[in-house]
Amino acid sequence: MPYVTADDGAEIAYRDWDGGGSPVLLSHGWPLNGDAWEATARVLAEHGHRAVAHDRRGHGRSSRTWHGNEMDTYADDLACLVEALDLTELTLVGHSTGGGEVVRYLGRHGSDRVARLVLVAAVPPLMVRTDDNPEGLPLETFDEIRAGEAADRAQLYRDLADGPFFGHNRTGGVSQGLRDAFWLQSMACGHRAAYECIAAFSATDFRPDLAAVDVPTLVIHGDDDQIVPFEVGGRRSAALVEGARLEVYEGSGHALPDTDRDRLHADLLAFIGS
């Protein structure tokens, strides 16, 4: 697997499915890694695009650094990858925490190399409830995840996979294989990285980054998302990006790249080709 070296020496692993056409960079959710996008990457490459998916630092096969497990460093690592591969006319696609990562990338590094932005069940604009963010989720929600991570993260990941992540607690029907893959990828994340990333995805304020987005943007969100509720995430992000298009997946949950794969791929291909 190839790597790029970040500014502090961390090695960032990535996969590169080069279909020969315009590049698409896929950023994954917590606590997964680039493998979470493998089905989407295959479809994009088969349709002539170049799909790149990295492992965020601390996740998957990338370096497990003690420091830098926060959004600014994640975004800077992404910039190292984009520059090393000389990606231009790039479509940024972020799922969940990855949505925060790509939005912060735009906020810190601008859109010179970026043609489009897609947010899929993404954490922006701000998940945690604060005085100026009363629609957010209570801090106790994230403290509970942190407690589970600290006490028995192996079981935490089982509970998430069997419950709210795929919406398996609502309708069932998500295969054991998918839930096992979630657990396997999650256990490949470093413990400190996974713990610190909970603060990164829940308490980072992306509102200034979203307000500065100046590329065509597609926001996709399920209205039964139990991880990033639609009213907390997609609806408000779409309102903050001028001209953004909002696609609501009725009855869908958080894991859209797995549970709504065909519809998501069709929407991505149409938007990239627009």
Catalytic site positions: 96, 225, 254
**Strand, helix or coil at 39?**
helix
* Whole-angstrom distance, CA of residue 190 vs CA of residue 61: 10
User: Could you check whether the bond before residue 125 is cis, i.e. omega within 30 degrees of 0?
Assistant: yes
Cα 233 from Cα 225, distance rounded (Å): 10
